[in-house]
Amino acid sequence: MFLARKAIRSQTSKKNSLIKQQFTYLSSKRDIAGVIRSDFPDIDIPNTTIPEYIFENFLTYPNKIAVECSLTEKKFTFDEVLCKSRNLSGALRQKLKLNPGDVVAVLLPNMPDYPICVFGSLMASLKVTTINPIYTPTEISVQLEDTNVKALFTLMEHVPKAQASMKLTHRRVPIIGIKMREADTVAEGAIDMREFVNTKTDIQDFPSADSNDTALLFYSSGTTGLPKGVELTHRNIISNVMQSSDLRVRMFQEATAERQDVVPVIVPIFHIFGFSSVLLVHLHKMCKMVTMPKFDAHPFVELLARHQPHILMLVPTIVNFMAKEPLVKKEYLESVRFVLAGGGPLTASDLENLSHKVANNVAVNQGYGLTETSPAVFMPSIRTRKLGTRGSVGELLSNTSVMLRKADNSDIIITSPNEPGELFVKGPQVMKGYYNRPEENKGAFLNGWFKTGDLAYYDENKLFFVTERLKELIKVKGYQVSPAELEGLLREHPDVLEAAVLGVPHERYGEAPTAYVIPRPNRNINIDNIHMYIAERAANYKHLVGGIQITDNIPKTASGKILRKELRKKYMEEIS
């Protein structure tokens, strides 16, 4: 029944897609002054679940490799992913007695088993929450408690950490252990994942989840406060996979009998960018996904040389690493057609630096999204690439509307190009809400519009630019200073590998910018030289009056965002 529904829906979907997706740009559409709708035609979003949608093409080339580990060479074909996911779904219901709506947690690095854990759980009408595998037991326990997790997937080597996390919650749930390598032993107290995926369970199917049911709980701090669960429905995720696959913005080529695009999965899958934009978008079109458990320089370079990827989807730290690292040779990038950066802001010069290492016709661009928007809102399009506008996050995706409101007075809607304001979003990819956070939900929306907390503007070509997190702006003598702008300037200095800027208290100015910089290998940083460098390139109120600190580490999230809260804490400890 599942595959029959798949075949019918696939034929209808492809037919509708051919009718709707034309290379025609419509004129700007505004319902009211300042409300901007996408120039792309709306798409029809099917009423189905994530596994049903992603699996709809899997039997076209069932024996092609779907996902392979770059470290261990463990791999699964599309047919194996489908069968193992189906088997897991039955085992979770029969052996663990899990019920629709229960939450399971996935505490894993990037590996071939990851999508099977998620798809199998969703096929059982469960909800999935993803957890960073480097978290401490205390951090893990908070998420387990908040979501009332009923089962947990993790690596065999992480089973003791998972057990320690559960002790802190004063309850025990089944732990399904997965081997990174075949030689690994089964950890005490864990269920071997192979028992659940290699055997078909004789249990009756029940109706699929509704497309508006919550499917995933990714954790995000949002615009304020502590991390909280972002409720994303099947419809949220499917709509964004479809929006990101529009002919105007897609980077992949659909698989044929003769060829298959290779896409490394370097961004963590536990993060929405890695899960939806990297993994799901490309699995759906039968690309070969090459997972990397964690980013390390030499294994990354080996991946490039051995697998010859066609598309690179990266976070800012890896973009800058590739641009400056001699190990990343131009010949390793000959197969690359597109490079897309996400997860944090990059300057035009950051993108330009990497473009020197790839072929002249290769697009190096960035997009924009949030956990709360599944994630993509803007992506570089064919038109973006033709205009050659570096630094832009591209065009608004189909079915999506945005508006910009004055940062210091949200009652005023901006109606002119090149004027920055806080970005508000509406679209089918916008989250259901924050899990069990009614008060947070009230503050997250304004008349049905999601408040991103990001400053953005658009130019005369209606290409968008996202400049800064609103809460991270530095106020110097009444002027607004963008940390991202100064970080971009600092990264252009020949002695600087990475930089982070934040505002610190100042007796005369209110706040002043201070910088933490990491030297490039075998380079020494002269602080006076850096001060002069910035003074020559920025207005005086942007000068680093708060000082410059040389460091060997800048704390960041898995997606590459600078943890300014951690830096501010470090600064306060230093001055005290």
Segment-wise mean pLDDT, segments of 10 residues, the chain, 576 residues: 42 40 38 88 97 97 98 98 97 96 98 98 97 90 96 98 95 96 95 96 81 95 73 98 97 96 96 96 98 95 97 91 92 95 84 87 91 97 88 96 91 94 97 94 94 94 89 78 88 94 87 94 93 90 93 87 87 83
Q: Residue 485: its pLDDT value, please?
A: 85
Residues 366 and 446 in one domain: yes
Report yes or no on 36 lying in a domain: no
Q: Final residue of a domain: which of 187, 209, 231?
A: 209
Residues 223 and 203 in one domain: no
Q: Domain holding 278: CATH number?
A: 3.40.50.12780
Report yes or no on 343 lying in a domain: yes
Q: How far apart are CA 114 and CA 116, in angstroms?
A: 5
Nearest to 344 by CA among 483, 552, 143: 483
Alpha-carbon distances, residue 296 vs 154, 204, 302, 322 (angstroms): 21, 45, 10, 12
Q: Residue 221: its pLDDT value, please?
A: 66
- β-strand 479-481 against 65-69: which pairing, if any? unpaired
Q: How far apart are CA 519 and CA 522, in angstroms?
A: 8
Report yes or no on 396 lying in a domain: yes
Q: Which two tokens stand for residue 501?
A: 């800027």
Q: How far apart are CA 303 and CA 73, in angstroms?
A: 11
Q: Final residue of a domain: which of 151, 177, 209?
A: 209
Q: Domain holding 152: CATH number?
A: 3.40.50.980
Q: Residue 19: its pLDDT value, please?
A: 32
Q: Residue 389: its pLDDT value, please?
A: 82
Q: Final residue of a domain: which of 421, 452, 469?
A: 469
Residues 460 and 557 in one domain: no
Tally of structural domains, the chain: 3
Q: Residue 27: its pLDDT value, please?
A: 34
Q: Residue 144: its pLDDT value, please?
A: 97
Residues 455 and 479 in one domain: no
Residues 256 and 375 in one domain: yes
Q: Residue 481: its pLDDT value, please?
A: 84
Q: Residue 304: its pLDDT value, please?
A: 97
Q: Residue 15: its pLDDT value, please?
A: 37
Q: What is the pTM of this model?
A: 0.85
Residues 176 and 322 in one domain: no
Residues 409 and 372 in one domain: yes
Report yes or no on 491 lying in a domain: yes
Q: Residue 317: its pLDDT value, please?
A: 82
Report yes or no on 17 lying in a domain: no
Domain that holds residue 518: 474-575
SS3 of residue 510 by DSSP: strand
Residues 284 and 431 in one domain: yes
Q: What is the DSSP letter of 333?
A: G
Residues 367 and 236 in one domain: yes
Q: Residue 267: its pLDDT value, please?
A: 93
Report yes or no on 59 lying in a domain: no
